[in-house]
Amino acid sequence: MQEFSKKLAVQFKPKYLFAHLVLFGVGLVLLYPLIFMVTVGFFTEEEFMTTVLGLLPFAKQPTWENFLVLFNGSADAAIQQYFLNSTIRTVYATFWALLTALLAGYVFARLKFRGKEVIFLTLLATQMIPATVALIPTYLQFARWPFAGGNNIFTGGTGILDTWWVYLIGGPSINIMGAFLVKQSMEKVPYELDEAAKVDGAGTLRIIFRILLPLQMPIMAFIAITTALATWNDFITPFFYTSSDHLQTLPAAITRLSSAAASPGTVPNWPLIITLSLGTTLPALLLFFFFQKYIVQGLANTGIKG
Amino acid sequence: MKIKKIAALTGTALLAAALSACGGGGAATTENGTGAEKAGGEVSSTPGMTTIKVLNEGAVSIGVGKLDDLFAAKEKEYTDTGVSLDYTPGSPVETFPLQYQKIMSEQLKSKKIEVVTEDWGWGEPLIQKQTAGFLAKNIPDIIVGETQMPGFAQQGLLEPFPDEMADEIRETVSPAAWKPMEVDGKIYGLAAQPGVSNLFWNKKLVEQAGIDPNKTITTWQELRDNVKKVTEAGAGKFYGGGVYAAPNFGGYLRYGALIAINGGSFADDSGQPAFNSPQNAETVALLKDLNAAHPPGLMVNNNEGSYFDAWNKGQIAYLIDGPWRVQESKTAGLDLGMAPIPLSPNGKAANVTIGAAFHSVPKDAKNKEAAFEYIKVMYGEQIQQLVADSNTRSPILKSIGESQKYQDKHPEMYLHYQAMSGDVTGLPTFTKDNSKAWQLWGDAVVKSIMTDGDIQSLLDEAQQRALNVTK
């Protein structure tokens, strides 16, 4: 108790107090959009339209309607289906990212073969291509997928566009950045560990999964979190390569609502759009909140500094 | 051994997940009734019917999927919120999108056509997806869009309307619905409920500035004077307003009407930029004056929602916008004045279509004949009577729009109908690098409005730079 009081007294020293006040202020600024989203969620469309919003808008006639739509969906928004799709896609893409990053990282960190550096640099160079540049070529690639979707070899049908294959094949490619991070991290592990395991009779897979993987946990957690966040928030893939409602994810559904709002002549239902955005943001935020320490640990392990 | 088992199990699990997800997704039945969809987004057709895919238009959307499957859920949504489903032609309609789609569905069924809707978004994402769709020859039977559609027509990506249909449209339909989609004497698209801009004012705010709220203003000078007076009376609480002028299509479409009125244009007949004409410079000078009657930065804010939010909340008094403003303002409880856009000293009445969702049949459409039947229903009497009853837009069918009944029942919308029937154009498409050319124009206007730079010099510079990208 005495120690606690001592600590508290230190915290209240002017220099710490000032720092805390600044941090509190910054924290409030960062949290403000979330608070705003929650309070706006209680507005009806009509009240939102006619109210001049203050810094903290409170509805005069609060309604749960927007939150009910967030959880139950509506006639033209099957929210539960979108939520399920987002979850399946995120889990699947994260699993693949981890697997490919680990295996590719091992190959580039541990194996010796001709052209290794060239291949690695080539793979890294692909990361420099902006995603938007690849949109139309990828669309064509999916549309021309051999013998799929009515294609007579390459043409005649729609390929794998507007099917789950878009997410299964197109989404989870080799995670290059993850492979790079694993390679950096693995290179710090003494090679003697591998040799000792080999002497004990371990094969390559056992070395990867039983010896090296446990040592890569922080970086694997980092890759998992960043991939999960990116996939959860990705609206481009579902929006661009699929059209059917049953394939949509939450961000894509929100983009649809927002683009309907941008269409002249339609009254945008901002409280609903903002509430749905909150529904997209929260799971990602919680994931980040609970696992943020791994992000720091993971990056520290690779020797990359911000 | 254990590791091998793990690897084998992982492989099996992955394959199973892939297959089950694929199968499950395809067979998924959603609450909104898209259960008719099969894997690959294909929808099961009713035997003997031609199924056409139609892109959704926000104003009449009731969801995506087979049209007939969407009605029940939408009806339930309306009845749950106490909205009556009753509609008799000639009376007000509360469920416009539902009634619109029901009429479309019934009329097309009699021609053995059924409709499946898809939603490809709006604005830039829609344009990108349509461009990819054209390249991959994977495009619905009817596509919809606004500013990009004349460009698609010029590039030969759209099917011209059959001559007989085009002649009928020219004779019976208001020009605003098809004129912007006319290329080399052929019609390539039609909007069932296009808009043109009018001047609106908030009577309460205008009155507070000592101006007669029932007096219509007719000249640019009056507009300048009035917005100044209102801004002074508002003392920071409300402003004069005028027109949205951000560097995006929302801005170009709205102040494009002022450019047209003053005899200016964005491009010449060959699709080359025509930014620096004296008429354009005069119009930009007006915009600069109007900017002084807005909250700082609002007039050129890229988010058009913020601008119209200010109108709905009674923070700006004057506004140039499309016809939907009438109904939206009523919903927002505003007492509204409406008149044709004021004219410049040497100007004449002219306008630019806005909020026009042009429907076109792509060259690669699989069911062109059925798609043209769809468009015929759009300008048919039943749909057009419904548009008239909605009081949000004007009908395009002359027989309804010019009828005495319509003039008496919807005086404000009749004003809009008259504006639609005058000198109406669409925004032009530049010969090359259209987006870049528009951006150069938009940036020059924003610089002219927000800085002390010489307007003519800024437009000259934009013209030169635009010529470099379009030639």
pLDDT in tens, B347-361: 999 999 998 999 999
Q: Which residue of A206, A243, A264 is in closest CB contact with B3? A: A206
Whether residue A158 and residue B77 make contact (CB cut-off 8 A), yes or no, is no
What's the rounded Cα separation, in Å, for the pair B136 and B364?
A: 10
Q: What CATH number corresponds to the domain at position A238?
A: 1.10.3720.10
Whether residues B63 and B172 share a domain: the answer is: yes
Q: What is the pLDDT of residue B292?
A: 96
pLDDT single digits (tens) B158-189: 999 999 999 999 999 999 999 999 999 999 99
What's the rounded Cα separation, in Å, for the pair B342 and B217?
A: 6
Whether residues B131 and B228 share a domain: the answer is: no
> In this complex, is the C-beta atom of B396 within 8 Å of any C-beta atom belonging to chain A?
no
Position A263 pLDDT exceeds 60: no
Whether residues B218 and B362 share a domain: the answer is: no
Q: Quick check: is B262 in a domain?
A: yes
CA distance A154 to chain B (A): 11
Q: Quick check: is A226 in a domain?
A: yes
Q: Which residue of B6, B10, B41 is in closest CB contact with A162? A: B41
Whether residue B118 and residue A243 make contact (CB cut-off 8 A), yes or no, is yes
Whether residues B385 and B453 share a domain: the answer is: no
Whether residues B342 and B320 share a domain: the answer is: yes
Position A272 pLDDT exceeds 90: no
Whether residues B449 and B333 share a domain: the answer is: yes
Q: Quick check: is B25 in a domain?
A: no
Q: What is the pLDDT of residue B27?
A: 30
Q: Are strands B198-202 and B113-118 parallel, antiparallel or unpaired?
A: unpaired
Q: Quick check: is B20 in a domain?
A: no
Q: Quick check: is B16 in a domain?
A: no
Q: Is A132 exposed, middle or buried (0-12, 13-18, 19+ CB in 10 A)?
A: exposed
Whether residues B213 and B333 share a domain: the answer is: yes
Q: pLDDT tens digits for chain B (471 residues)?
A: 555 555 555 554 444 444 333 333 333 333 333 333 443 444 566 778 999 999 988 888 888 889 999 999 889 888 988 889 999 999 999 899 999 999 999 999 999 999 999 988 887 888 889 999 998 888 999 999 988 999 999 999 999 999 999 999 999 999 999 999 999 999 999 999 999 999 999 999 999 999 999 999 999 999 999 999 999 999 999 999 999 999 999 999 999 999 999 999 999 988 899 999 999 999 999 999 999 999 999 999 988 888 998 999 899 999 999 988 888 888 888 999 999 999 999 899 999 999 899 999 999 999 999 999 999 999 999 999 999 999 888 999 999 999 999 999 998 889 899 988 888 988 998 988 888 999 999 999 999 999 999 999 999 999 999 999 998
Q: Quick check: is A123 in a domain?
A: yes
A160 CB contacts (<8 Å, ≥6 apart)?
A: A142, A145, A148, A149, A166, A169, A170
Question: Chain A interface, mutation test: which of B128, B138, B331, most A Cβ atoms within 10 Å?
Answer: B138
How many structural domains is chain A composed of?
Answer: 1
Q: Quick check: is B228 in a domain?
A: yes
Where in the sequence is the domain holding B438, given as residue range(s)?
Answer: 196-354+430-470
Q: Quick check: is A37 in a domain?
A: no
Whether residue B355 and residue A78 make contact (CB cut-off 8 A), yes or no, is no
Give me A53's structure tokens. Answer: 């919003």
Q: Quick check: is B337 in a domain?
A: yes
Whether residue B64 and residue A243 make contact (CB cut-off 8 A), yes or no, is yes
Q: Is B356 exposed, middle or buried (0-12, 13-18, 19+ CB in 10 A)?
A: buried
- Which residues does chain A have within 8 Å of residue B197's beta carbon, measured at their own beta carbons? none
How many structural domains is chain B composed of?
Answer: 2
Q: What CATH number corresponds to the domain at position B391?
A: 3.40.190.10
Q: Quick check: is B179 in a domain?
A: yes
Whether residues B342 and B410 share a domain: the answer is: no
Within chain A, where are the H helices? 2-11, 14-40, 45-50, 65-72, 79-110, 116-125, 135-143, 165, 176-186, 191-199, 204-206, 213-215, 217-233, 236-241, 250-262, 270-302
Q: Is B40 exposed, middle or buried (0-12, 13-18, 19+ CB in 10 A)?
A: buried
- Which residues does chain B have within 8 Å of residue A74's beta carbon, measured at their own beta carbons? 77
What's the rounded Cα separation, in Å, for the pair A11 and A7?
A: 6
Q: Give the number of beta-carbon pairs within 8 Å between A and B.
A: 191
What's the rounded Cα separation, in Å, for the pair B421 and B414?
A: 11
CA distance A109 to chain B (A): 21
Instruction: Identify the band that residue A291 occupies on the pLDDT scale cut at 50, 70 and 90.
Output: confident
Whether residues B204 and B138 share a domain: the answer is: no
How many Å from the N-terminal Cα to the C-terminal Cα in chain B?
68
Q: Which residue of A163, A259, A270 is in closest CB contact with B123? A: A259
Q: Calculate the average pLDDT of chain A.
A: 84
pLDDT single digits (tens) B443-462: 999 999 999 999 999 999 99
- Which residues does chain A have within 8 Å of residue B34's beta carbon, measured at their own beta carbons? 78, 244-246
Q: Quick check: is A44 in a domain?
A: no
A positions 38-67 inside 8 Å of B (CB): 46, 49-52
Instruction: Identify the band that residue A282 occupies on the pLDDT scale cut at 50, 70 and 90.
Output: confident
What's the rounded Cα separation, in Å, for the pair B452 and B337?
A: 33
Whether residues B151 and B300 share a domain: the answer is: no
Q: Quick check: is A21 in a domain?
A: no
Whether residues B415 and B315 share a domain: the answer is: no
Where in the sequence is the domain holding A155, given as residue range(s)?
Answer: 78-302
B positions 6-35 inside 8 Å of A (CB): 6-7, 10, 14, 17-18, 21-22, 24-26, 28-32, 34
pLDDT single digits (tens) B99-108: 999 999 999 9
pLDDT single digits (tens) B31-50: 333 333 443 444 566 778 99
Whether residue A75 and residue B324 make contact (CB cut-off 8 A), yes or no, is no
Whether residues B144 and B251 share a domain: the answer is: no
Instruction: Identify the band that residue A99 occupies on the pLDDT scale cut at 50, 70 and 90.
Output: very high
> In this complex, is the C-beta atom of A270 within 8 Å of any C-beta atom belonging to chain B?
yes
Instruction: Identify the band that residue A258 occupies on the pLDDT scale cut at 50, 70 and 90.
Output: low
Give me A220's structure tokens. Answer: 């694997």
> In this complex, is the C-beta atom of A131 within 8 Å of any C-beta atom belonging to chain B?
no
